[in-house]
Amino acid sequence: MAGQLEALGHPTRLALYRLLVRAGPDGTPVGRLQDALGIPASTLSHHLSKLVGQGLVTRERQATTLICRADFPAMNGLVGFLHDECCADACAPVAADGAA
């Protein structure tokens, strides 16, 4: 989990991941990601590799096009971890008398 959070801590990777999540399960071609972010192909490849290495993104070749997708089960696991481990006290139900 720490590696995933570190990967998403970089502004370019977070923007890239946001684009992939918004693209949904069909994903998005690498060229479209590069155009949207306005970064060189080598920079995009570096950031994608980091996200793939942390299990947050998958890549699939379709003929001559490389399609990238957010790994939604991994994302849900990370969000679940944050909720369960980091928000446990703050998100605890409150009793009718205001006591936690």
On whether residue 72 sits in a domain, the answer given is yes
pLDDT digits (tens, 9 = 90+) for 39-60: 999 999 999 999 999 999 999 9
What is the domain extent for residue 73? 2-82
The predicted structure's pLDDT at residue 18: 96
On whether residue 90 sits in a domain, the answer given is no
On whether residue 41 sits in a domain, the answer given is yes
Say which CATH number the domain at 29 has: 1.10.10.10
How many domains does the chain divide into? 1
Q: Over pLDDT 70: what percentage of the chain?
A: 86
Mean pLDDT for the chain overall: 88
DSSP structure string for 18-65: HHHHHHGGG-EEHHHHHHHHT--HHHHHHHHHHHHHTTSEEEEEETTE
